[in-house]
Chain A
């Protein structure tokens, strides 16, 4: 069995590489300014294992980045002096855009610590924004590419109620018994409702991941929703579906993105099994972590490939069947949710993908990390 855990935050020690390479000591960075720029930097940098954000500071106590920092367990400072002195920083990043700050920092920052500000800082911010936009676009593009594979399932599910409507309507053209007319009209209405529900599920799934705030979601509910969507892409009838749900398991994040993650994992699992086998969906929540496991009894992934599956554009499927972006996008989404994703696999036996998130209580408070 091989376990791989790509780009883990240095805070989470549980999900380790089986053969860890000693990491270079992290670059210690401080962020001055917690507006949009500071927050964007926070989001981008905290995912990188070799960067440690020592702290963030802003004059304005309600700056958005300060709240985000608290969520990410990045220390929040109130005085710049506290943040930049005696911290052995490698780099101070000033994203305030305030020329006065520039000169102040030049005096206050100890020698040996680099400072980035002004236009350099702005360039960095633009790069970070660009990457974030790219990731969002890639996810959406991959989702749309996948929708094509739903065609067979959609056609099947819509043509069936249409057949009933057609048959009933044809019959109604010469039906004289009033009671029969009422019953058949009623059946037509029900068939239309069924078709509407399918359209609604699909249009809902294919729209852009909404830009609304992250919220607390039921993982079990999302898994069930994903099964409904995945049905259009892969035949689930001959798959044994085992659900081992712990009740009330929740996670904070974007519902559209999490749905996409689960649809992807489930369709991958079913495709690996070539339509026969057992799909197991397991959710657990303990005080220190919330786990979601998607397992299949399919062909498995060879050890040489295991390290590459999360790379963008890496795929073993033929061109029509895979963009190679699915797992890359999933990884990005999970990391944005402060989670990790790992995989265990044995050729000929099957694979298990494990997602680990910090545990939320129903009130939305994060538990302390060990």
Chain B
């Protein structure tokens, strides 16, 4: 794992924050990583809920994770279960849902549970970045 400074440390120059993207599609992880990296974020990847949990619990990631972007329809610990797990165990890390299948009922339910944003693929880069920026604000507020 390369050295890393979380954007939470205000004034951290090397990056604006650390994001974990959870999606079983390598295409998605690739494009999210590309878009957010360009905007100065460091991006971790996990291909399903199980791997996401492993990644978070590995070493220092837990403290340095700022935002989680998560799909819903995934094998082995699907998105809904993973989201519940994240909200329970890392309540201060904001969650953004990025899904291929829009479902208004589920969106409302998730937003009520405190998910920061519910994005539908394909999402424009600007929207994604704005969402992550909003999540980062929430993150900083949570630590004050």
A binding-site residues for B, Cβ under 8 Å? 151-152, 155-168, 170-171, 191, 235, 237-238
Whether B34 lies near A167 (C-beta < 8 A) is: yes
Which of B7-15, B59-67, B71-79 touches A?
B71-79
Contacting B122 at CB < 8 Å: which of A151, A159, A238?
A: A159
A-B contact pairs, 16 of them (CB 8 A): A156-B73, A157-B100, A159-B121, A160-B25, A160-B27, A160-B100, A162-B121, A163-B121, A165-B122, A166-B123, A167-B31, A167-B35, A167-B122, A168-B31, A237-B74, A237-B75
Whether B76 lies near A156 (C-beta < 8 A) is: no
How many residues of chain B get a CB closer than 8 Å to chain A's CBs? 23
Whether B28 lies near A163 (C-beta < 8 A) is: yes
Q: Could you say which residues of chain B place their CB within 8 Å of the CB of A163?
A: 27-28, 31, 100, 121-123
Q: Could you say which residues of chain A place their CB within 8 Å of the CB of B120?
A: 159
* Complexed CA–CA distance, A170 and B122 (Å): 12
* Complexed CA–CA distance, A38 and B105 (Å): 57
| Shortest CB distance A8–B (Å) | 41
* Complexed CA–CA distance, A167 and B120 (Å): 14
Q: Could you say which residues of chain A place their CB within 8 Å of the CB of B125?
A: 166-167, 170-171
B binding-site residues for A, Cβ under 8 Å? 24-25, 27-28, 30-32, 34-35, 38, 73-76, 100-102, 120-125
From known contacts A152-B101, A166-B124, A167-B125, infer whether A161 and B27 are also in contact, taking CB-CB under 8 Å. Answer: yes
Whether B101 lies near A156 (C-beta < 8 A) is: yes
Whether B122 lies near A162 (C-beta < 8 A) is: yes
Q: Summarize A's interface: helix, strand, loop or mixed.
A: helix
Contacting A171 at CB < 8 Å: which of B32, B35, B74, B101?
A: B35
Q: Could you say which residues of chain B place their CB within 8 Å of the CB of A157?
A: 100
| Shortest CB distance B15–A (Å) | 19
Whether A155 lies near B27 (C-beta < 8 A) is: no
* Complexed CA–CA distance, A10 and B7 (Å): 78
Q: 5 shortest A-B CB distances, which residue pairs?
A: A237-B75, A167-B31, A159-B100, A156-B100, A159-B121
Q: Which of A164, A165, A167, A235 has the most CB of B within 10 A?
A: A167
* Complexed CA–CA distance, A356 and B100 (Å): 40
From known contacts A163-B123, A166-B124, infer whether A155 and B100 are also in contact, taking CB-CB under 8 Å. Answer: yes
Query: What would 16 more interface pairs be, CB under 8 Å, given A151-B101, A156-B101, A165-B122?
Result: A155-B100, A155-B101, A159-B120, A161-B27, A162-B121, A162-B122, A163-B121, A163-B123, A166-B122, A168-B31, A168-B34, A170-B124, A171-B35, A171-B38, A191-B27, A237-B75
For residue B72, which residue of chain A has the nearest CB? Answer: A156
For residue B33, which residue of chain A has the nearest CB? Answer: A167
Q: Could you say which residues of chain A place their CB within 8 Å of the CB of B32?
A: 167
* Complexed CA–CA distance, A74 and B120 (Å): 60
Q: Which of A168, A170, A171 has the most CB of B within 10 A?
A: A170
Whether B35 lies near A170 (C-beta < 8 A) is: yes
